[in-house]
Amino acid sequence: MSRRSSRKALQNIASYIGNAAAHIALYEDFPFTMKEAISYFSQAAEIAGERTWNEAEIKRLSDLATRRAGRVIGARLEPERKKDFDNLLDRAREEIKRFIEAEM
């Protein structure tokens, strides 16, 4: 893979796992959410499996995915739950870490 395509792949993986982690953090108890998150994680795993990632790339992936999760959580969080943002983002970070440990 070229440097440019590696960067794009990393961005795609981060988007998928950031979305999945945010959905799990926000709507954990809903079956549809889990189905959607599994789909996102599967798509990310497919891209991740195409090559070997170094530590710097994995760190970048974690940062990008966390930012993505934060944006999704912030956009979808009801006003009365804004105080829960940090806890929800921590939950999303756990999911991101779990994905990275399993797939990268």
- Per-residue pLDDT 10s for the chain (104 aa) are 445 589 999 999 999 999 999 999 999 878 898 899 999 999 999 999 999 999 999 999 999 999 999 999 999 999 999 999 999 999 999 999 999 999 99
Whole domain around residue 8: which residue ranges? Answer: 3-103
Distance of CA 77 to CAs 24, 62, 100, Å? Answer: 13, 22, 25
- Which pTM value belongs to this model? 0.90
Q: How many domains does the chain have?
A: 1
Task: Tell me the C-alpha distance between 90 and 36, whole Å.
Answer: 20
Of 56, 60, 55, 54, the closest CA to residue 13 belongs to 60
Residue 40's contacts (CB-CB under 8 Å, 6 or more residues apart) are 16, 17, 19, 20, 23
pLDDT at site 43? 97
pLDDT at site 4? 52
